[in-house]
Amino acid sequence: MSDQFDVSLEDPDLLGEVEMTTNLIIAASEAAGPLDQDEIDAILGVVPENGDPAAIGE
């Protein structure tokens, strides 16, 4: 009888989401207070519409 829970995780999109969530959890646990939006965007690699990562938070 095969184990229905014995499956390999081969979904690159899901793995990426898990990595981003893990990074947020680690950053939040190390922060003295709540993370602001700029910190969250930087952790997630969000780039502003103009494409300049240095413009995050402007």
Using CA atoms, how far residue 8 sits from 3, 14, 18, 30, 56, in Å, is 12, 12, 15, 31, 37
- 11-55 pLDDT, tens digit per residue, is 888 889 999 999 999 999 999 999 999 999 999 999 877 766 555
Put simply, whether the predicted model's pTM sits higher than 0.95 gets the answer no
Cα dihedral 35, 39, 43, 45 in deg (nearest 10): 140
